[in-house]
Structure 1
Amino acid sequence: MSTSLLTQLKEMTKVVADTGDLETIRRFRPEDATTNPSLILQAAQQEDRRERLAVIARESADIDEAVDRVAVEIGSEISELVPGYVSTEVSSRLSFDREATIKKAHSLIERYAKNGVPAERILIKTASTWEGIQAARALERDGIRTNLTLLFGFAQAKACADAGATLISPFVGRILDWHKAQNPDGDFSGDNDPGVASVKRIFEYYKAQNYATIVMGASFRNVDEIKSLAGCDRLTISPALLNELDEEHGTLERKLSAKSAKVGADDALSEQEFRWAMNDDEMAHDKLAEGIRKFMADQKKLEELLAKLRQ
């Protein structure tokens, strides 16, 4: 009997669970796990967490502290189930504030340390704005590892690697969403998927430049996108798609390899060049702004939930 595609994928790519659900993590045994405001909100709404959340909400000095404590508590639980990284996101409110992002990251790392989780197990996530990338540059110098998320454009990827980020999360599915909206009748199957093409380009560029930054494809809409990126450093996958991969059998072909990288050298981007490139890339500009808004909307819902529990 042939092995599942998930088993084969794990042999060429580190599989990461894109969820805060502990049962899913136990079942699929991923290398790492990623969370974001939307996933933390989902985990916080689980009935078996409600009593504990009420305690946290009432013990915290304010809602901001309560949100951080919830994120770190869920992240600490996840850290016991995966051998690698756990990603925890800085508030989207800070996406354009370098200094506040740095301060918040240190605070989250300190909270993890109190829970017995060392800094080297945590990736601090921040949006791939210019300010977020520069915050990551400073944090990496301080020994705090980072995950640059909401990444849609090549300029973002270049700047993240130049900043020495530990990992980036280019969003495959949201890029596809944008192109489908612009061209509803277009053929986006297989290698025509613009999100897949974006990650391939970034992967090959990083390997050609010998960047240590990890490329982790994220935000998948279907298993075909995942199959097309087999061999990428890491792929963070939702529970539904992990299940599909686990149930499907056959032969999974490696699609990405460092040996195929043939991109020439390139200079680092200045702030002006970065901002112009983002302004010139309509898709990346639109999806970055939209992503920040969506994450912030879910954080506000979590804040409202915790505020009710404080009463």
Structure 2
Amino acid sequence: MKFFIDTANLTQIREAQTLGILDGVTTNPSLMAKEGITGTENIKNHYKAICDIVEGDVSAEVIGTTYEEMIKEGEELAALHPQIVVKLPMIKDGVKACKYFSDNGIKTNVTLVFSAGQALLAAKAGATYVSPFIGRLDDISTDGLHLISEIRKVYDNYNFQTEILAASVRHTMHINNCAKIGADVMTGPLSAIEGLLKHPLTDIGLEKFLADYKKGN
């Protein structure tokens, strides 16, 4: 499973990169605003700065909601760097734009997916990634992981090459379970990724090893 970090914070991206396991980055206007990045040119420059840190795909989200707006903005984003993946909303014009980009060799990430039917449409339109938001489904007492399983079954039935990018990952168990049920990618905060490192028996074992070493010296 690929590991993406979901943030616009350059310090956190660099920290994840130093682990040697980072495959890419996802971000969005809300995450940009959280870092105080506003204005079209500043946002574009920030995307380029992210691409300079990581080697994998970097999802850059369009703001427009019409086909024409998404095509114009997506082409501008794709031109920033070869690693840019154009992030499109799961709406009718977003699917149309996805088809346009896939026909023209530009990678896409169809986001805000909450059903297997939406994921099917994205795959039919040639999406590189589809992003089901599992955490947001959990928030409304719906099983977000079940959606990942449904999409996996549909994609396997028809050999779709679109990658399932589990988004809105909130914690370490989300990552573990997504890996078990076949998500191709997960994107989440640095805290969830680093949480995989932790186990009390690891800490106890290391403490004992070090204590025994000190006794012998």
| Fold in common (TM above 0.5) | yes
Contact 2:7 2:31 in 1 (8 A): yes
Residue aligned with 2:105, SS = coil
Is 1:104 the equivalent of 2:87? no
Alpha-carbon shift at residue 104 of structure 1 (Å):
1.2
Give the total of aligned pairs.
196
> 1:194: how far off?
0.9
- Comparing both structures, which one devotes a greater share of its residues to helix? 1
1:33 — aligned with what? 25
The Cα of 1:223 is off from its aligned counterpart by: 2.0
* Cross-structure match for 1:233: 184
Shift of the 74–140 alpha-carbon distance from structure 1 to 2, 3 Å rule, reads same
CA distance in 2, matches of 1:207, 1:44: 41
2:118 equivalent to 1:146: no
Match of 2:131, SS? strand
Answer 1 or 2: which has greater strand percent.
2
2:93 maps to 131
Over the aligned positions, Cα root-mean-square deviation in angstroms equals 1.9
Q: Which has the higher contact order (CA 8 A, sep 6+)?
A: 1
Does the residue aligned with 2:164 lie in a helix, a strand or coil? strand
SS state of the match for residue 197, structure 2?
A: helix
Amino acid at match of 1:20: A
Task: Name the structure 1 match of 2:5.
Answer: 17
Instruction: Give, as a single letter, the amino acid of the residue that structure 2 aligns with 1:134.
Output: K
TM-score (norm 1): 0.60
CA drift of 1:249 comes to: 7.0
| Residue matched to 1:288 | none
Q: What's the TM-score, normalizing by structure 2? A: 0.84
Map 1:136-215 → 2, pairs under 5 A: 136-179=98-141, 194-215=143-164
CA contact (8 A) 1:32 1:86 kept: yes
SS of 2:8 mapped into structure 1:
coil
The structure-2 alpha-carbon separation of the partners of 1:72 and 1:247, relative to structure 1 and needing over 3 Å to count, comes to farther
1:41-52 to 2 correspondences below 5 Å: 41-44=33-36
The correspondence of residues 38-117 of structure 1 with structure 2, limited to 5 A, is 38-44=30-36, 67-91=39-63, 94-95=64-65, 97-110=66-79, 112=80, 117=81
Over 3 Å counting, the alpha-carbon distance change for 1:249 and 1:15 in structure 2 is farther
Distance 2:175 2:113 in 1: 17
Unaligned runs of 5+ in 1: 1-12, 46-65, 180-192, 251-311
Q: Which amino acid aligns with 1:147?
A: N
Per-residue CA distance 1:122-175 (angstroms, 9 max, x = gap): 111111112111111011112211100011111110100000011111100001
Q: Using the TM superposition, give the Cα deviation of residue 204 of structure 1 relative to its aligned residue in structure 2, in angstroms.
A: 2.2
Asked if structure 1 preserves the Cα contact closer than 8 Å seen for 2:170 and 2:188, the reply is no
How far apart are 1:239 and its partner, in Å? 2.0
Give the partner amino acid of 1:241: A
* CA distance in structure 2 between the aligned counterparts of 1:245 and 1:211, rounded to whole angstroms: 30
Q: Superposition pairs for residues 258-269 of structure 1, below 5 Å?
A: none
CA distance in 2, matches of 1:161, 1:35: 21
Q: CA separation in 2, counterparts of 1:139 and 1:69?
A: 22
Shift of 1:213: 0.5
Contact 1:71–1:88 (Cα < 8 Å) also in 2: no
Query: What does residue 209 of structure 2 align with?
Result: none
2:204 aligned residue: none
